[in-house]
Amino acid sequence: MSSSSASSKTMLKASKDGPYALSLSLSPAPALALALALALALALALALALALALALALALALALALALALALALALALALALALALALALALALALALALALALALALALALALALALALALALALALALALVLALALALDCGIPDLGVQMLRRLRRLYQKGTPETLRGTWQLRL
């Protein structure tokens, strides 16, 4: 090959590695173009690696945003559940307080009814005691000191006979 016909030449020459070694000799312009092409390929590879790293970072950021959105949704659901539980507990406490107030009102009404019944019983006992005192005073005033004993004897006789006809004229007092 001649040096004028090609810019690069391949020569076989003896060297210390062997009797014939292939030697590629290039002219400076194609070597510079090859180095530039290699540098551009390396820059392209670096740009692709950077783009891949950026895509990976974007995917991680999107995954993080999705995780944060899910955490926010979970926190909102938990807050809603807590609010519902609090509202239910408040409603239950209100119902219990209302039931206790109703039970207290019923207990007060029952106590009032019992107090009224006791007052009526005391009034009846007082009226009966007054009637007994009046009957005793009338018996003493009529000169019949043993009227109470006679009344008890007549009641016993009436109870033993048990007929309604015997009740006629039993309690008439003759002065």
Q: What are phi and psi of 18, to 5 degrees?
A: 180, 170
Domain of 87 in residue numbering reads as 31-117
Total domains in the chain come to: 1
Residue 20 lies in a domain: no
Residue 67 lies in a domain: yes
Tokens 């949704």, located at residue: 73
| Whole-number average pLDDT of the chain | 79
Q: Distance between CA atoms of 24 and 10, rounded to whole angstroms?
A: 5
Please state whether the predicted TM-score (pTM) of the whole model is above 0.75.
no
Reported confidence tier of residue 175, pLDDT bands at 50, 70, 90 = very low
- Provide the token pair at 146: 């043993």
pLDDT tens digits, residue range 126-160?
Answer: 888 888 888 877 776 665 556 666 766 776 676 66
Q: Distance between CA atoms of 113 and 69, rounded to whole angstroms?
A: 65
Residue 140 lies in a domain: no
Residue 14 lies in a domain: no
DSSP string covering 29-89, please? HHHHHHHHHHHHHHHHHHHHHHHHHHHHHHHHHHHHHHHHHHHHHHHHHHHHHHHHHHHHH
Q: Distance between CA atoms of 148 and 139, rounded to whole angstroms?
A: 8
Q: What is the pLDDT of residue 7?
A: 46
Residue 24 lies in a domain: no
pLDDT tens digits, residue range 158-171?
Answer: 666 665 554 455 54
Residue 153 lies in a domain: no
Residue 112 lies in a domain: yes
